Chain A
Amino acid sequence: MTARTFVCRCEDVTLTEIERAIAAGLIDVEEIKRYTGLGTGPCQGKECLSALGRLLVARNLIAPAALRPFTARPPVEPVTFAALAAGATEHPEEPSP
C-alpha cells in the first residue's frame, strides 16, 4: 500500500487522507465519512466502507463488535428523476402565493 492508495474510488479518497483524519482524532465512520467524503459517491460506500472498518479494527481504534456502517441513504441504486416523478401520487401543487 502506498500513500496514493485509493480507498474510495468514487470520491478519490486516499489512505493518506484517512490517516490525516485519524491523526485529527476522528475514529468514527460517520465522522471520517464527513471529513474525507468517503462513501458519498455513486456506490455509496459499497466498496470503501469495509476497507475503512478493517483499518479501524486493525489499529485498535474500535472493537469489531462495536463497528457499525454509516447510515444508509436511499435509493439503494441511482434512480432517474423521471422514474420517481412517475411515482408521484399527487400532481405537483398548483402555484400558491
Chain B
Amino acid sequence: MTVAMGRADTPLPADVDVAVIGGGIMGLGLAYHLALLSGGKGKPPLSIAVIERSYLVSGASGRNGGGVRMQWGDAGNVRLMMDSIELCKDLAQQLGINLWFRQGGYLFLARTEAGERRLERNVQLHGEVGAPTRLLTAAEAQAIVPQLDVAEVRLATFNPEDGVVFPWAFVWGYAAKAVERGVVLRTHTSVVRVEPLAQGFALHLHTGEVVRARRVVNATGAWSGALNRQLGIDLPNRPHRHEILSSEPLKPFLDPLVVDLSSGLYFSQSTRGELVTGISLPDAPDGSDESLTLHSSLRFLTHLSATLTRLMPITAAMKVLRQWVGPYDVSPDGDAIVGPSPGHPDFIQVCGFTGHGFMMAPAVGRLLARWLALGEAHPMLARWSPGRFAAGGVARREDMIIG
C-alpha cells in the first residue's frame, strides 16, 4: 500500500509540538529524523506537521544539481559532509527508494596560482580530518576524464567518495517515511501569518485554518525572509538565482563531477545519463534584481556553452535538453543559519545554506533532530547560530562555495 503524502486536504491537528514550514529536503529530513526519535528514551511522542506552500520539491530541493562532496575548505564542513556521505550509503535501504546515489568522485581543476593554493590547502586539511582527497597533476586529471582539455590546468584534486544523487527521489523518500511514522504532511497551503503566543505560535493558513505549535521551524530557505520579518527577526540571508541545465541522456562516460574553480563551471553525468551543468553567472548587465524570479535566460546558455566546450571540447556535439532556475539562500559569511531566532527562541531557523543545503541535509536533519528532541548539541550549531550577526557577525571561513 502506498503511503498517501503531500495532499492539499490532509487534516491538520489544531495543536502540534513541532510545525515545520517548508516541505523541502531540510524540513522533511528534519521531520523524518524527529519522527525516528519521537517517543524514544521514555519521552512522549512528538506531534509533527510539515506545511508546504506549493508541491514537494517545488523549491531549491527540486532544482539543484545533486552534487554531494567532502571537498570543502573548512574542517567543520568537511566533517559534516563526511557524515552526510556516510548516511547516503545506506539511505536508499532506509527510505525504500532508489536515490540514484553514485560515488564517482569530484574532480576540482585549478587554472590559476590562487586556485592551486586553495587545492593544496584543501588536501592538507582533508588529510588531517580523514577525507581521502588527493592532489593530481593535469595529466592525472585527464586520465580520470580523458575528454578534458587540460592545457590550462595547473593542479587538480580528486576525492573518490564524493558523488551525485537524483534530488527528487531523495525528497520523496524522506516524505514517505516521515508520513509513515506519523508526520502530518500538508501541501498547497501557505502560512499567511505567524502569531506569537505565550507558549509557541499560532500559524494562520490561507485556508482560514489555524495551527498552534509549541515550536516552529522555518525551513523555507530563499523564501524565509518574509516569515522572519513578520516576527521582527532580522537576518542577513538573501535569495540569489542560479541557473542550471541538463543535456540529452547518453550512456555512462563521465565518472566524477568536474568543477573548474576559475569560472565556477561544474558538470556531472547523472545516473539518468544526462549531463547536469551550471556556472557562476555574472549579474545581469542592467543590474536588475531578479533574485526570486525563476525564468531561464539565453545569457546563461551561451555563457555556459562557451566555457564548457572550451574545457571539454567533445561536448560541442551534445545537445542541451532543458534549463531551469533555482534559488540559493545566501548567507553573508557562507555559513548556514540554524537554531533559535534572536528574540524568538522557539522559532527555529534552518536556512542560509548558500546553495549547498541539499548535500548537507542528511547530516543536518539528524543533528538538528537530536538537538530538538534530546537537547544534544553539535559543534556546527554554535557556529550556525542565527544570533551571530547581532554581535557583528564572523569572518568568512569557507571559500569552496561553487556557482
Instruction: Report which of A25, A35, A73, A91 forms a contact with B306, defined as CB distance below 8 A.
Output: A91
Q: Is B199 an interface residue, CB under 8 A from the partner? A: no
Inter-chain CA distance A75–B323, complex, in Å, is 7
Note all chain A residues with C-beta closer than 8 A to B152: 95
Cross-chain contact A24 with B6 (CB below 8 angstroms): yes
Question: Which residues of chain B are within 8 angstroms of A93 by Cβ–Cβ distance?
Answer: 262-263, 282, 307
- What are the residues of chain A within 8 A of B272 when measuring CB–CB? 37
Q: Which residues of B contact A26 (CB under 8 A)?
A: 5-6, 55
Minimum CB–CB distance from B352 to chain A (whole Å) comes to 24
Residue B115 at the chain A interface, CB threshold 8 Å:
yes
Nearest CB on A from B108, distance (A):
14
Q: A87-B298, A95-B111, A96-B112 are in contact. Are A74 and B323 (CB under 8 A)?
A: yes
How far, in whole Å, are A75 and B324 apart by their CA atoms in the complex? 10
Residue of A nearest to B166 (CB): A37
Interface string of A23-40 (1 = CB under 8 A from B): 111101011001101001
Q: Closest B residue to A35 by CB, please name it.
A: B172
User: Is A63 at the interface (CB under 8 A from chain B)?
Assistant: no
Which residues does chain A contribute within 8 Å of B315, judged by CB atoms?
81
Whether a CB of chain A sits under 8 angstroms from the CB of B317 is: yes
Q: How many positions in chain A have a CB within 8 Å of any CB in the partner chain?
A: 36
Across the interface, which residues of A come within 8 angstroms of B305, CB to CB? Answer: 81-82, 84-85, 87-88
User: With contacts A30-B55, A90-B303, A95-B112 known, is A24 near B316, CB below 8 A?
Assistant: no
Residues of chain B within 8 A of A81, CB atoms compared? 247, 305, 308-309, 315-320
A73 to B58 alpha-carbon distance, docked (Å):
15
With CB as the reference atom, state the residue of chain B lying closest to A24. Answer: B2
Q: Is the interface of B mostly helix, strand, loop or mixed?
A: mixed
What CA separation (Å) do A81 and B321 show in the bound complex?
A: 10
Contact A24 B307, beta carbon cutoff 8 Å: no
Interface residues on B, range: 35 or more
**Interface contact B262-A80, CB-CB below 8 Å:** no
Q: Give the docked Cα–Cα distance between A70 and B206 (Å).
A: 23
Residues of A47-97 whose CB lies within 8 A of B: 71, 73-75, 78-82, 84-85, 87-93, 95-97
Interface presence of B259 (CB below 8 A) = no
Give the CA-CA distance A88 to B318 in the complex, in Å: 17
Contact B309 A82 (CB under 8 A): yes
Cβ contact within 8 Å between A30 and B318: no
Across the interface, which residues of B come within 8 angstroms of A91, CB to CB?
306
B262 near A35 (CB under 8 angstroms)? no
Question: Whole-angstrom distance between the alpha carbons of A79 and B302 in the complex?
Answer: 11
B303 adjacent to A35 (CB under 8 Å)? no
Task: With both chains docked as a complex, state the minimum distance between the C-beta of B259 and any C-beta of chain A, in angstroms.
Answer: 14
Given A82-B317, A92-B263, A97-B114, 10 more pairs with CB closer than 8 A: A34-B56, A37-B272, A73-B323, A74-B296, A81-B315, A87-B302, A88-B302, A92-B307, A95-B112, A97-B115
Interface residues of A (CB under 8 A from B): 20, 23-26, 28, 30-31, 34-35, 37, 40-42, 44, 71, 73-75, 78-82, 84-85, 87-93, 95-97
The list of the 6 closest CB pairs from A to B, nearest first, reads A97-B114, A78-B319, A84-B305, A95-B262, A73-B322, A82-B316
Supply 9 A–B pairs (Cβ within 8 Å), ascending by A.
A25-B10, A26-B6, A28-B188, A30-B58, A34-B55, A80-B316, A84-B306, A91-B306, A92-B303
